[in-house]
């Protein structure tokens, strides 16, 4: 089996060590053939952007031997050598602007040295060094310069806590990137990557030759693994897991079909263009196999989106607001970093940055007049549970979460409804009053969120031939049909379950699985002296 690496972003190193590499060079060939040769490409973190930049660097340095057996090597590409400026913002310390500027200057001076060029006297001005470097490389080689910038927006994203900091780093970035537009006569190919597309940054407001391929259908699966790519590339690793006895999260043995379905549930689901195939996150998949088939939240663990959590809490947004959120294509062109940092961004703009950052993904696209509207969803189980956990902890700072979740899931598995309700009450009692919302859907999403974290099997808004069930909660021995009410009564909800016979479609299933069938209504109150469960009522099928 080929070794899997999740920490190597050097194309040369991957190829020289014969590590597993999913061939994406057909997309690069398409870029190389395009006229203009100036591209911007946005994808969430840890999705392969840095490896793509490293691959482009190897191509333009003429390192054809690294591409033996790959798609690009079989094409008519003639491998011309060009001088390369590769700037990697992940290498730059950036606690302060001075620190960022200094480290960026060091990267540029390294390139001067590698090409045996003399830098200008002013060595502490990054835009000046950048401009002179492009000119000198072109003059020395007679070839157009290739500019590769990885994670262009990292300095801005790292300073989102205050509007002043965000604007300071945005302004510095603008002065640096605008060099690219002035030097287009000396440039052969430009490629910039990032997580987000911010308005008011010069590469978008001024560099009008830059082609944004982020949502281009032809590049929708350039990063991440399609189902076909995944099954082909990891076939031996899948066989190895099955031979050693892989199990689900609840310790049940899995056959090949079940294993593929479980991996898909956890790590697939990212969609970057309407109608495009979904893709797996490469880091999550790699770490899953490195972890001997243990289902864990790998991608989310590589970085906690604290600024997003803070914004969601301030805006009083819940899971119910996120899954199924809608944004327009206009939001993509008007995203202002300063407004976000000031807490003045609209909900739609917050959803949009969550989409770009990978915490939400495209579900459906629909034309609305001259605009396009996009419905969003969580990409997969890994992202949904991880984000729910972070959001719940932000809303419940006083709750000892691990013990709480254990006790709650135990109550569900035992069918101990009294204990289940008691733990829910404690959960709600820990939510600060000033972020609660007087909506039934809000309380429904809180219950769904905490049960999701427990690993419980819960569905919401389940349609039947007579209506819509608020929630269906399943455990090995118990099945709950749940109706939520706000400022009404548990009696009302139970009557609704019985009147519409919500249990009809589940009776046979419950009998076959020897599950006890519960009809449960939970009534919440938003009254200022309550803001919790006031009453509940249960009926159990004999």
Structure tokens at 293: 């088939």
Beta-sheet pairing, 371-377 with 326-328: antiparallel
**Residue 177 contacts residue 202 (beta carbons within 8 Å):** yes
Find tokens 């840890």 and name the residue: 46
Instruction: Confirm if 524 and 532 have CB atoms less than 8 A apart.
Output: yes
Residue 208: pLDDT band with limits 50, 70, 90: low
**CA 103, 109, 115 angle in degrees (round to 5)?**
145
pTM reported for the whole predicted model: 0.81
Compare 108 and 409 and report the one with higher pLDDT: 108
Tokens (6 digits) for 313: 């809490």
For 189, the 3-state DSSP assignment is strand
Q: What pLDDT sits at residue 528?
A: 78
CA-nearest of 99, 230, 354 to 345 is 354
Dihedral Cα 193, 199, 203, 206, nearest 10 deg: 160
The predicted structure's pLDDT at residue 502: 87
In this predicted structure, the answer to whether residue 218 has a pLDDT above a threshold of 90 is yes
277-321 pLDDT, tens digit each? 999 999 999 999 999 999 998 887 766 666 777 777 777 777 777
CA pair distance 277, 144, nearest whole angstrom: 36
DSSP assignment of 152-163 equals TTHHHHTT-SSH
Where do we find the tokens 């009254």?
527
DSSP calls for 366-402: EEETTEEEEEEE--SHHHHHHHHHHHHHHH-TT--HH
DSSP character string of 120-163: PS-TT-HHHHHHHHHHHHHHHH-SPEEEEEE-TTHHHHTT-SSH
Confidence of residue 397 (pLDDT cuts 50, 70, 90): low
- Is 60 exceeded by the pLDDT of residue 203? no
According to DSSP, residue 316 is labeled T
Look at residue 229 and tell me whether its pLDDT is greater than 90. Answer: yes
The whole-angstrom separation of Cα 83 and Cα 387 is: 43
Q: What DSSP character marks residue 65?
A: G
Bigger pLDDT: 67 vs 390: 67
Give me the numbers of helices (H) and strands (E) for the chain, helices first please: 23, 13
Q: Is the pLDDT of residue 39 over 60?
A: yes
Mean per-residue pLDDT, 243-261: 91
How does 381-412 read in b/e, with b if 16+ C-beta sit within 10 Å?
bbbbbbbbbbbbeebbeebeeeebbeebbebb
Helix (H, G, I), strand (E, B) or coil at 192: strand
Between 374 and 239, the more confident residue is 239
Identify any residues that bridge with 404 across adjacent strands, giving them in sequence order. Answer: none
Beta strands across the sheet bearing 371-377: 326-328, 371-377, 361-368
Please check the confidence at residue 234 and state whether its pLDDT lies above 60: yes
Is 80 exceeded by the pLDDT of residue 399? no
pLDDT digit string (tens) for 154-185? 888 888 777 788 788 888 888 898 899 888 89
Q: What is the pLDDT of residue 40?
A: 92
> CA 136 → CA 59, 102, 426, distances in Å?
21, 21, 67
- Would the pLDDT of 231 be above 90? yes
Give residues with Cβ within 8 angstroms of 161, minimum separation 6: 307, 310, 341
Average pLDDT score over residue span 351-377: 86
Please state, in angstroms and rounded to a whole number, the distance separating the CA atoms of residues 356 and 194.
Answer: 9
Dihedrals φ, ψ of 7, to 5°? -125, 5
63 close to 213: Cβ distance less than 8 angstroms: no
Greater confidence, 221 or 514? 221
Element (H, E) at 56: helix 49-60
Residue 118 DSSP class: P
CA dihedral angle for residue 494, residue 500, residue 501, residue 505, rounded to 10 degrees: -120
CB neighbourhood size of 291 (10 A): 11
| 67-93: average pLDDT | 95
Q: Contact at 8 Å (CB) between 533 and 522?
A: yes
Number of neighbours of residue 100 by Cβ within 10 angstroms: 23
- The model's pLDDT over 113-134, given as tens digits with 9 standing for 90+, comes to 999 999 998 888 999 999 999 9
Sign of the CA dihedral with 295 first, then 300, 304, and 309 last: negative
Joined together, the tokens standing for residue 535 give: 């009453």
Phi, psi of 414 (to 5 degrees): -85, -10
Cβ burial of 21 (10 Å; 0-12, 13-18, 19+) is middle
Residues 6+ positions from 79 with CB-CB distance below 8 Å: 59, 62, 64
Tokens in use for 36? 């203009």
The pair phi, psi for residue 48, each rounded to 5°, is 110, 10
Q: Please give the angle made by the CA atoms of 303, 306 and 312, to the nearest 5 degrees.
A: 130
| pLDDT of 433 | 62
Closest CA to 226 of 294, 299, 283, 282: 282
């Amino acid at each position: 089996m080929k070794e899997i690496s999740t920490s190597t972003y050097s194309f040369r190193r991957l190829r020289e060590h014969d590590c597993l590499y999913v061939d994406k060079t057909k997309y690069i060939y398409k870029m190389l053939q395009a006229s203009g040769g100036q591209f911007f490409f946005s994808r969430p973190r840890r999705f392969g952007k840095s490896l793509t930049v490293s691959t482009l660097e190897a191509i333009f340095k003429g390192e054809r031997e690294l591409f033996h057996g790959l798609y690009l090597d079989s094409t008519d590409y003639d491998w011309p050598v060009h001088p390369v400026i590769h700037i990697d913002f992940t290498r730059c310390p950036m606690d302060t602007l001075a620190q960022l500027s200094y480290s960026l200057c060091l990267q540029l001076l390294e390139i001067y040295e590698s090409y045996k060029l003399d830098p200008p006297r002013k060595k502490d001005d990054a835009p000046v060094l950048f401009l002179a470097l492009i000119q000198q490389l072109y003059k020395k080689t007679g070839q157009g310069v290739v500019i590769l910038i990885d994670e262009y927006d990292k300095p801005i994203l790292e300073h989102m806590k205050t509007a002043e900091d965000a604007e300071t780093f945005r302004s510095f970035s603008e002065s640096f990137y605008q060099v690219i537009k002035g030097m287009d006569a000396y440039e052969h190919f430009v490629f910039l990557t990032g997580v987000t597309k911010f308005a008011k940054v010069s590469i978008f407001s001024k560099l009008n030759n830059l082609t944004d391929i982020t949502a281009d259908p032809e590049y929708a699966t350039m990063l991440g693994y399609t189902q076909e790519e995944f099954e082909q590339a990891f076939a031996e690793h899948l066989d190895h897991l099955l031979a050693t006895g892989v199990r689900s999260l609840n310790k049940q043995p899995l056959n090949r079909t079940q294993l593929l379905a479980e991996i898909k549930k956890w790590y697939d689901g990212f969609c970057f263009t309407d109608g495009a195939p979904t893709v797996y996150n490469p880091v999550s998949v790699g770490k899953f196999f490195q972890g001997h088939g243990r289902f864990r939240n790998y991608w989310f663990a590589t970085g906690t989106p604290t600024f997003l959590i803070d914004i969601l809490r301030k805006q009083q947004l819940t899971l119910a607001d996120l899954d199924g959120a809608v944004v327009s294509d206009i939001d993509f062109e008007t995203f202002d970093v300063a407004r976000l940092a000031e807490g003045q961004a609209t909900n739609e703009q917050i959803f949009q940055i969550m989409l770009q950052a990978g915490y939400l993904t495209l579900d459906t696209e629909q034309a609305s007049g001259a605009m396009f509207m996009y419905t969003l969803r969580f990409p997969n189980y890994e992202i949904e549970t991880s984000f729910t956990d972070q959001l719940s902890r932000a809303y419940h700072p006083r709750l000892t979460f691990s013990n709480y979740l254990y006790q709650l899931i135990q109550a569900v598995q035992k069918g101990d409804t009294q204990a289940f309700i008691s733990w829910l009450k404690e959960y709600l009692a820990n939510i600060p009053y000033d972020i609660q919302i007087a909506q039934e859907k809000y309380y429904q999403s809180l219950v769904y969120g905490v049960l999701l974290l427990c690993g419980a099997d819960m569905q919401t808004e389940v349609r039947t031939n007579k209506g819509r069930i608020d929630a269906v909660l399943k455990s090995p021995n118990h099945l709950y049909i749940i109706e939520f009410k706000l400022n009404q009564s548990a009696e009302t909800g139970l009557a609704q379950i019985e009147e519409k016979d919500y249990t009809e479609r589940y009776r046979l299933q419950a009998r076959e699985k020897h599950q006890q069938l519960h009809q449960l209504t939970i009534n919440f109150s938003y009254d200022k002296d309550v803001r919790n469960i006031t009453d509940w009522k249960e009926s159990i099928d004999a």
